A = this chain, B = another copy of it.
Amino acid sequence: MNIYDVSQKAGFSIATVSRVINGNQNVSEKTKQKVLDVMKEIGYTPNVFARGLGLNTMQTIGIMCSDSSDTFLANAVYHLEQNLRKNGYDSFLCCTGYDLHTKQKYLKLLLSKRVDAIVMVGSGFLEPNKKDNAYILEAAEDMPIMLINGYLNHPRIYCTLCDDYQAVYDSVNKLIDQGRKRVLYLYNSKTYSSIQKLNGYKAALAANDIDLDENLIQMCPNTLADAHELLTSLATSGLKYNAVVTSEDLLAIGAIKFIKQAGRKIPEDCSVIGYNNSLLASCCDPELTSIDNHVETLCISTISTLMRVLSGNDVPNKTTISNDLIVRETTNF
């Protein structure tokens, strides 16, 4: 018995049933009664219902994150905890790693601890194969699920994303405007967010009538040593480029080091743009121009949405936040 059964039997949309469950005012008394009757009839009592009645709440939110040693994710976790605390909520964090089985196990564990909602941080949380995300949709029947930098379509899943597509599109476009038509793009994963970034890169080339050279798109593990090895082998193969855009700051710093060693000047001979605007971007020399995905704003927006959901408000399921290019010394913008 789940929310779908209630929806089908009552003859209302899942969104309507969800509104009733959450005590939202925008439902007629008649609709509300019908939904509650059906719920009683088929014996459906979701945790959220008890919560809506002010029972059973632990004022605790579960946070799931795949890798706390990743700078972006660690910062996100920090801001989530801070904002939850400001709103009177405690939080439990589970660092799940990238294995699907472990993610599922941790989600179950959090559900058993009766948290009020779950926040999943990072696009690494979603599996490329849709079927593998079914456990998240299932959990959403029991409590609100918040996704940061991921998107799943479900009335009880609320997604906050940064506009990674637009950010890379704009950056590559700016480089092309300056005559940098050979833009090397380095990325390190195939997550939702990574695919958005890559699509932005391709779209900027297309918009400028530049043919795609597949050799300029390279996947690379996110370490300085791997970046160095890849760039060395590309140089040996004779690949030419006059700009580098990367999906992570660390890869961009690898590029800076390689380009300097090769005796080329940054940004005169080659521009470099990183992603995340992490602490690393200010530590290298020259300092790195980087796309800021506003991790703090993402987290504030997520928690503010969550608080409205928990108060029974009708809240849009998807919020997209624009990114900013933070210009430092590796570009002459």
Contacts and interface: CB of A to CB of B under 8 A. Distances in A.
Contact of A94 (B69, B93, B95, B106): B93
A113 B115 CA distance: 11
Nearest to A282: B224
B85 A78 contact: no
Given A253-B283, A280-B279, A284-B283, A109 B93 contact: no
A95 B113 contact: no
Contacts of A85: 97, 102
Interface in A77-92: 77-78, 81-82, 85, 90-92
A242 interface: no
Contacts of A113: 113
Interface string A277-296: 00110111100000000000
Contacts of A71: 71, 74, 279
Interface in A43-78: 60, 67-69, 71, 74-75, 77-78
Contacts of A106: 90
Q: Which 3 A-B pairs have the closest CB atoms?
A: A69-B78, A93-B93, A74-B74
Interface of A: 60, 67-69, 71, 74-75, 77-78, 81-82, 85, 90-95, 97, 102, 105-106, 109, 113, 224, 250, 253, 257, 260, 279-280, 282-285
